[in-house]
Structure 1
Amino acid sequence: MNIRRSLRASAALLVLCLVPLTGAAGDKPPITLDAAAIDTLFDDTMARYGLPGLAVGVVVDGEVVYQRTAGELRAGEGEAITSRSLFKVASNTKAMTTALLARLVDRGLLAWDDPVVKHLPAFRMHDPWVTREIQVRDLLIHNSGLGPGAGDLMLWPEPNHFTREDVVAGLAHLKPLHSFRSRYAYDNTLYIVAGEVAAAAGGASYEELMEREVFAPLGMSRCEAGAFDRDAVGDVAQPHRRVGGRNLVYREDGATVDTVPMAAAGGVRCSLDDMLVWTRMWLQPGQHGVVDGRPWLSDARRRELWTLHTPMPLGSRMRDWDGSRFYGYGYGWRLNDAHGRLKVSHTGTLSGMYSALTLLPELDAGFVMMTNGSGDGARTVLVQALSDLLVRPGGARPVAWYADVLQRERDEAPPARRAPDTSAREAVSTGDPAIPTGVYRDPWFGDVRLCAHERGVEFASAKSPTLTGLLMRLDDRVFVDWFDDSIGTDAWVEFKVDDGRPRMTMAKVDPEADFSYDFEDLAFERVAPCP
């Protein structure tokens, strides 16, 4: 294990008097940051969750007061993670995309209330009225009426053969679950549209604009939004999953890391050093957000990005842990109150990569964490502990306390929220009359083949080849057992005949699986016999 630390002071105990952005210094008591206590949180999180690597940085008063990395780029191979190592920041990309759009708004190249079709005339939603009315701002605040993660199967699992054009075109076929602008439901696909709006207004590709407008002027020299040569860039963390108590690399980068369709929603990679530059810029724009003597982003745009535009459900854990009374989404940021202080944050999740950025602007403090392992629980625990360290009157609790709460929540989940036991499954036979084999087509996902395989009936997606597996019967239901066991959930399959044509629908076997496995949005029709 390699550990790198940089502390503003050599003493283990750092007493930091944090002053809010508004108000007098006496408005709050001093906050004590104990570097050794952060080390304990770091070490205990690594140990509790068996992470292959972890990077953490804390900023206070515009200075990096804690920075540490541990673990390996690839578990077992000895190449240490450093503060320059690239991680997938996943959905923390969204704040970068909205900042890019804000730069274009500042230049008068677009407006938040522009109709999307003003910039992308061919853009369509399922409802023609929504197509006409949806504005640039609506692409950013998860109020489209689509279900959570609608269309995400065009993005994940990677690699796949979908293009950015496929994703944008597919939105016309995704049926809404709710009325437009009526409620919050997280989506990624509309952020891809937002990236294309930026490209149309800015006169260059999304990737070029990110480099020109965000990374270069701010000095985020190790961030990558587009294709790059893995070995030339170097120091690139690889994703891992936990199998049998070991961390195994999976979905490893090739020699050339290609541009991905979901770049604007979650495709950026950055180092810890770069994410701390990003953090300092947001906390102290007057000092760290000035480029060539001018504000990188106007105050008006900053306020808009951090304005609550869509209310979000406020769960009991947030009420208990943060004492929160409100929760909502801005432009690429989540907003809530934590023990009376504004918290501006986001997380990022991709297979084998987890990140988080939390800002406490009234305290001029924030922190970043990134891991290249299966770190959902680890992220929740460490982020909460670091937040509590800064704002909770009693400070942070031990890692075990937070982890045990999460474990109890899982153990006490009602049966309806648990994945069923599928160990008694049996392969569907090729002659099963209840299974109408053939080629099936969904208007946004494309073709899949349900055809004879040496072990039964195979489900094989044309554009997402990772989604290949065997049909299995469990009691009176049928599901797909994927060959790639890293896929987060198997999928139920149901058939019916309508107007003489077989149709197929799907659903997650594990009801608590990531919403990006949006099998429920698929509606297949049989279009041909098996070849």
Structure 2
Amino acid sequence: MNLSELIAKHDVPGAQVAILADGEIRDEAAGVLSTRTQVPATTDSVFKIGSITKIWTATLVQQLVDEGALTLDDPVRDHLPGFRLSDDQATEAVTARHLLTHTSGIAPNHFTDTGCNDDAIAKFVATLADEEHLLPPGTLLSYSNTGFTVLGRLVEVLRGKPFHDVLREQLVAPLGLTTVATIPYEAILHRAAVGHAGTVPTKKWAVSYRTAPSGSHLAMSARDLLTFVRLQLTDFAGLREPQVNDVPDFGDDISGWGLGWMLHPGNVVGHTGVSKGQKAFLRVDPSRGLAVAVLTNSTNGRPLAHEIFTENGIDVAPPPTPPADPAPIDDRMHGTYRNPLYDITLDSTCLTYRPRSDLAASFLGDRTDPVEVVRLGDDTIITTRGHEVMSLIGSDGTGRAKFLHNGGAAYRIA
């Protein structure tokens, strides 16, 4: 089935696919960049890559390590003057390795808007001193976009330049990449894909610049993404070395974590990116020099990517689905789980999200209605719509689970 047929099958407005094999990249595109404008998607269009950006940020950090500017186990505060978290012990302990492996204990998202200027990341990191800290560093893998923003600030300080300038000078220009936008002002110079909720265009392309190092701004063609991956296969193998082997199941077939990279069964590595109605998927088999990138401008992109990976020799698990006859959600799973932004209450049939502040409420939007869930496995549940997998972890001493792992991030029992 060709790409045009696949996007029609999965109700995706537009997509790009690139495949690296035998040292060569071939690519194709199909559909439209926006259902509103009907501009055709081409192989030189730029799609947002979301959290795949984290591999680029990890590479910038590793370059600094290679140059002797820091080590991964230095406390971050040694290189960031004034760096402070609300937890004094965490301030002293957090390292770049913690941040790269999502084990820093910093909560997944802080929504303080610090603008779009070059000082936005510095201002944002300064606000963490007033934000509730989630977990002691090293406790548990808990996916943190905010943690990668701290890494972005580390890069800015050690290079003496804004993050997007460092990206361009250290990676984009040396690799000769011509279809990369590091900020929205550059994206407008290209044929830029617009995100869609299904097939309905989103009303925003990017959020504040504060989250650029974690994945809010970087956009490119699938070909340029794989040109970057080709560098990873030759020069940055250490980033793929396992760092965390105990990863709770959150539905993306992840068996471990490297430095920025997700590790999958069968020696496959990759990352997934979600950003304002765009979904990007990257899977790499380093032993075969094989990489596949699938960039889509729709929330419907996941099944499309699964088909393309399978067709091109990347062994991936099928997307999870609720069982036909699920076991009941038992009492030890019930409870209210908390992070600094939200409380999530789980009972026998549903999850209910409650914001803990007006700011959190503004980002939660209309997602306050109960979400139906069923039991998936011994320690996992799955939503009946969207099929999001969540894990229950540990024990609080009374027989109840200690953490709910939702979207890769930990929520502790309240």
For normalisation by structure 1, the TM-score amounts to 0.59
Which residue of the partner structure matches residue 49 of structure 1?
Answer: 10
Tell me the distance in 1 between the aligned counterparts of 2:77 and 2:170. Answer: 24
Which residue of the partner structure matches residue 333 of structure 2?
Answer: none
Partner residue of 1:277 out of 208, 211, 227: 227
Tell me the distance in 1 between the aligned counterparts of 2:146 and 2:251. Answer: 28
SS in 1 for 2:27: strand
Question: 1:350-369 alignment to 2 at 5 Å?
Answer: 350-369=275-294
Which residue of the partner structure matches residue 83 of structure 2?
Answer: 123
Query: Would you say the 8 A contact 1:153–1:518 is kept in 2?
Result: no
Tell me the distance in 2 between the aligned counterparts of 1:170 and 1:414. Answer: 44
Partner residue of 1:70 out of 17, 30, 48: 30
Please report how far the alpha carbon of residue 146 of structure 1 lies from its aligned counterpart in structure 2 after TM superposition.
4.1
Question: Which 5+ residue runs of structure 2 have no aligned equivalent?
Answer: 331-339, 342-354, 371-384, 391-405
Which residue of the partner structure matches residue 58 of structure 1?
Answer: 19
Please report how far the alpha carbon of residue 252 of structure 1 lies from its aligned counterpart in structure 2 after TM superposition.
3.7
Q: Quick check: 1:164 aligned with 2:164?
A: no
Which residue of the partner structure matches residue 237 of structure 1?
Answer: 193
Which residue of the partner structure matches residue 20 of structure 1?
Answer: none
Question: 1:219-258 alignment to 2 at 5 Å?
Answer: 219-228=176-185, 230-231=187-188, 233-242=189-198, 247-253=199-205
Q: Cα RMSD over matched residues?
A: 3.8
Aligned residues, how many?
358
Tell me the distance in 1 between the aligned counterparts of 2:179 and 2:81. Answer: 35
Q: Quick check: 1:104 aligned with 2:64?
A: yes
Q: Quick check: 1:306 aligned with 2:236?
A: no
Q: Quick check: 1:133 aligned with 2:11?
A: no
Give the partner amino acid of 1:207: H
SS in 2 for 1:261: helix
Query: Would you say the 8 A contact 2:4–2:31 is kept in 1?
Result: no
SS in 2 for 1:197: helix
Q: Quick check: 1:409 aligned with 2:291?
A: no
1:67–1:512 CA distance, 2 compared to 1 (3 A): closer
1:177–1:118 CA distance, 2 compared to 1 (3 A): closer
Please report how far the alpha carbon of residue 71 of structure 1 lies from its aligned counterpart in structure 2 after TM superposition.
0.8
Question: 1:435-474 alignment to 2 at 5 Å?
Answer: 467=363
SS in 2 for 1:281: helix
Tell me the distance in 1 between the aligned counterparts of 2:96 and 2:314. Answer: 35
1:86–1:143 CA distance, 2 compared to 1 (3 A): same
1:316–1:259 CA distance, 2 compared to 1 (3 A): closer
Query: Would you say the 8 A contact 2:72–2:96 is kept in 1?
Result: yes
Query: Would you say the 8 A contact 1:142–1:310 is kept in 2?
Result: no
SS in 2 for 1:355: strand
TM-superposition CA deviations, 1:489-516 (whole Å, max 9, x none): 2279xxxxxxxxxxxxxxxxx9959957
Query: Would you say the 8 A contact 1:356–1:383 is kept in 2?
Result: no
Tell me the distance in 2 between the aligned counterparts of 1:372 and 1:221. Answer: 20
SS in 2 for 1:368: strand
Give the partner amino acid of 2:257: Y
SS in 1 for 2:174: helix
Tell me the distance in 1 between the aligned counterparts of 2:161 and 2:307. Answer: 38
1:415–1:172 CA distance, 2 compared to 1 (3 A): farther
For normalisation by structure 2, the TM-score amounts to 0.74
SS in 2 for 1:142: coil
1:171–1:45 CA distance, 2 compared to 1 (3 A): farther
Which residue of the partner structure matches residue 272 of structure 2?
Answer: 347
Please report how far the alpha carbon of residue 129 of structure 1 lies from its aligned counterpart in structure 2 after TM superposition.
1.6
Tell me the distance in 1 between the aligned counterparts of 2:325 and 2:209. Answer: 39
1:383–1:72 CA distance, 2 compared to 1 (3 A): same
Tell me the distance in 2 between the aligned counterparts of 1:347 and 1:517. Answer: 12
1:318–1:142 CA distance, 2 compared to 1 (3 A): closer
1:464–1:224 CA distance, 2 compared to 1 (3 A): farther
Question: 1:5-84 alignment to 2 at 5 Å?
Answer: 39-40=1-2, 42-43=3-4, 45-64=6-25, 66-84=26-44
Tell me the distance in 1 between the aligned counterparts of 2:250 and 2:207. Answer: 41
1:264–1:317 CA distance, 2 compared to 1 (3 A): closer
Which residue of the partner structure matches residue 206 of structure 1?
Answer: 163
Tell me the distance in 2 between the aligned counterparts of 1:220 and 1:413. Answer: 49
1:118–1:463 CA distance, 2 compared to 1 (3 A): same
Please report how far the alpha carbon of residue 279 of structure 1 lies from its aligned counterpart in structure 2 after TM superposition.
2.5
1:106–1:97 CA distance, 2 compared to 1 (3 A): same
TM-superposition CA deviations, 1:342-371 (whole Å, max 9, x none): 211111012311001111110111110010
TM-superposition CA deviations, 1:182-241 (whole Å, max 9, x none): 22111110100100001111111111111100100011222122341554x130100111
Partner residue of 1:390 out of 293, 313, 320: 313
Please report how far the alpha carbon of residue 414 of structure 1 lies from its aligned counterpart in structure 2 after TM superposition.
6.9
1:72–1:141 CA distance, 2 compared to 1 (3 A): same
1:177–1:343 CA distance, 2 compared to 1 (3 A): same
Tell me the distance in 1 between the aligned counterparts of 2:409 and 2:173. Answer: 36
Please report how far the alpha carbon of residue 171 of structure 1 lies from its aligned counterpart in structure 2 after TM superposition.
2.9
TM-superposition CA deviations, 1:155-193 (whole Å, max 9, x none): 7xx99xx94345323433444444420221111101001
Question: Which 5+ residue runs of structure 1 have no aligned equivalent?
Answer: 1-38, 286-296, 320-325, 418-443, 446-458, 468-479, 493-509, 524-531
Tell me the distance in 2 between the aligned counterparts of 1:270 and 1:74. Answer: 16
Please report how far the alpha carbon of residue 84 of structure 1 lies from its aligned counterpart in structure 2 after TM superposition.
1.1
Query: Would you say the 8 A contact 2:283–2:292 is kept in 1?
Result: yes
SS in 1 for 2:213: helix
Please report how far the alpha carbon of residue 413 of structure 1 lies from its aligned counterpart in structure 2 after TM superposition.
6.4
SS in 2 for 1:138: helix
Aligned-pair identity (%): 24
